[in-house]
A and B are shown apart, each in its own frame.
Chain A
Amino acid sequence: MKKNVNIRQIAIATFLVTLISGCRSNDDYNKLGEAGIQYIDAVNLLLDESAKTRVDLSSEQILANDRISNIDATQYTITADSDRKRIKYINLVMQHNLMLKKYFVLLQELANSDAPQKAQTQIEKVAKNMIALGSVIRKDAAIDPGSGTATLGSGVNFIVKLQIREALKQELEKRGKLISNELKIQEEALEDIGEIMLQDKEKISKLQENRLVVRSIVSPNPISDETGWIKIRQNILTMTIMSENLKNASSTLSNFRGIFESFLEGKSDIKSINIFLSEVETFVKLVSNKK
């Protein structure tokens, strides 16, 4: 009878705390944290690619100018400094993103915390030891702690889980708007940096076409490796299409703000987060294949 009362009490407490902390499970928060981490990694991959693209473009330009008239040290230094400045600001954005990633990592750690299991183990240990201590004090025979400690342990497990969920909910209530604003700036960054990168890649494509395709075909000497020349030409002429695909794929990353805001409003579901994660995976593969 007493056991039934305990279970009923725990059920009522569960219902009340669930009402207070909303309908999100710890797994939902975990998934949101995972999506945030994957999103930031993908954005930083794009930023890294854009920095490398910039350096590749200026290298092509330096070589093109040097073929006409010898580049001097000052001209080279001015170009390199201009590149370094670009890399510096891209790096600042990447560093900031790592901070945002840290936020999502902690959110996920909290949602994934093994604290409920640990608390259950510890409370069961305390209960058993207290029963043993009581027996010693009363000089009784050792009493079997029975299933009471297990029920107590399960209850504590559940309550700690709910407390964690409440902490997660409060955290997002407190800083949800800030993170949403962060993601809005990320969208601008993806749009601007994506556009700059696409233009840089188009210029690289033209310069490489001139250096590796046009020069050899207009030269009076026959091309020594014709198959190689065809392959190079194919790679260069399709580079722009690949870059456009990358730009389009990067725009799907912007969907994360919608997912995050829906989550705050209690609308987003695990399915939409999973779809987003698979889009991020496609984007990462696209960037990795280009390397």
Chain B
Amino acid sequence: MDMTPEEKQLLDLDKSRDENIQKLKDLEDELYSSVNQAWFEDSDNAIPEEKKDFTSKRIKLSNLINDLDTIRIEKIAEKFRENESKLKEGIDELSTTLGGISSSIDTLGQIGTLISTIANILIVV
């Protein structure tokens, strides 16, 4: 299927975004590697300011990656929200159908009881 130039542009943007997010994730992996962790934990290797700066950067990067992943979930939630009123309509209609059937049977039961009561009254009379 041929894509329109706009669709191709969007697809390229998506691809580029995914590649950039992957680069950030690779960087995060590198920063949290056991070698880096051990080096910074060793009190002889870095001064407190360097340690503070390193952890601040890691926290910022991790939160940024988390937020980018959350945006993907947010978009899914938005797509679902668009369908919600129509889905609710279906639920209401099914509930009404079920309620209608139950009510018809109740009415039938009441008619039966009424006829029986009339018959009993007529017997007594």
- Neighbour of B67 across the interface among A85, A99, A123, A171, CB < 8 A: A85
Instruction: Establish whether residues A93 and B73, one from each chain, have CB atoms under 8 Å apart when the complex forms.
Output: yes
Instruction: Establish whether residues A86 and B69, one from each chain, have CB atoms under 8 Å apart when the complex forms.
Output: yes
Interface size class of B (residues with CB under 8 A): 35 or more
B71 → A minimal CB distance (Å)? 9
Within 8 A of B (CB), among A121-142: 122-123, 125-126, 129-130, 132-133, 136-137
When A96-B81, A182-B80 are in contact, do A118 and B105 touch as well, CB less than 8 Å? yes
Instruction: Establish whether residues A178 and B112, one from each chain, have CB atoms under 8 Å apart when the complex forms.
Output: no
Chain A residues with CB below 8 A from B118, complex form = 133
A265 to B8: give the CA distance in the assembly, Å.
33
Within 8 A of B (CB), among A183-235: 185, 188-189, 192-193, 196, 199, 203, 206-207, 209-210, 214-215, 218
A203 to B90: give the CA distance in the assembly, Å.
42
Instruction: Establish whether residues A178 and B62, one from each chain, have CB atoms under 8 Å apart when the complex forms.
Output: no
Instruction: Establish whether residues B112 and A126, one from each chain, have CB atoms under 8 Å apart when the complex forms.
Output: yes
Chain A residues with CB below 8 A from B55, complex form = 65-66, 68-69, 71, 75
Chain B residues with CB below 8 A from A240, complex form = none
Instruction: Establish whether residues A210 and B73, one from each chain, have CB atoms under 8 Å apart when the complex forms.
Output: no
Closest to B101 in A: A115
Against A, the Cβ 8 Å flags (1 = close, 0 = not) of B101-125 are 1101100110110011011001100
- Neighbour of A110 across the interface among B40, B58, B62, B94, CB < 8 A: B94
Instruction: Establish whether residues A61 and B115, one from each chain, have CB atoms under 8 Å apart when the complex forms.
Output: no
Chain B residues with CB below 8 A from A65, complex form = 55, 58-59
Chain A residues with CB below 8 A from B79, complex form = 185, 188
Chain A residues with CB below 8 A from B116, complex form = 125, 129, 132-133
- Neighbour of B94 across the interface among A82, A103, A122, A130, CB < 8 A: A103
A67 in the interface (beta carbon within 8 A): yes
A164 in the interface (beta carbon within 8 A): yes
A93 to B78: give the CA distance in the assembly, Å.
9
- Neighbour of A106 across the interface among B52, B72, B74, B98, CB < 8 A: B98
- Neighbour of A78 across the interface among B59, B109, B111, CB < 8 A: B59
Chain A residues with CB below 8 A from B111, complex form = 126
B45 → A minimal CB distance (Å)? 10
B114 → A minimal CB distance (Å)? 9
Q: What is the interface of chain B, defined by CB distance below 8 A to chain A?
A: 25, 28-29, 32-34, 37-38, 40-41, 48, 51-52, 54-56, 58-59, 62-63, 66-67, 69-70, 72-74, 76-77, 79-81, 83-84, 86-88, 90-91, 93-95, 97-98, 101-102, 104-105, 108-109, 111-112, 115-116, 118-119, 122-123
Q: Offer 26 A-B interface pairs, CB within 8 angstroms, sorted by A.
A: A61-B59, A64-B37, A68-B37, A71-B59, A78-B59, A82-B66, A92-B80, A92-B81, A100-B87, A103-B91, A103-B94, A122-B108, A123-B108, A125-B116, A130-B115, A133-B122, A160-B101, A171-B93, A179-B90, A182-B83, A185-B80, A185-B83, A188-B79, A193-B76, A203-B28, A206-B32
A96-B84, A126-B111, A167-B97 given; name 16 further pairs at CB < 8 Å: A64-B37, A65-B58, A66-B55, A69-B54, A92-B77, A103-B87, A103-B90, A113-B101, A122-B105, A133-B122, A203-B32, A206-B29, A209-B34, A210-B37, A215-B38, A218-B38
Q: What is the interface of chain A, defined by CB distance below 8 A to chain B?
A: 54, 58, 61, 64-69, 71, 75, 78-79, 82-83, 85-86, 89-90, 92-93, 96, 99-100, 102-103, 106-107, 109-110, 113, 115, 118-119, 122-123, 125-126, 129-130, 132-133, 136-137, 160, 164, 167, 171, 174-175, 178-179, 181-182, 185, 188-189, 192-193, 196, 199, 203, 206-207, 209-210, 214-215, 218
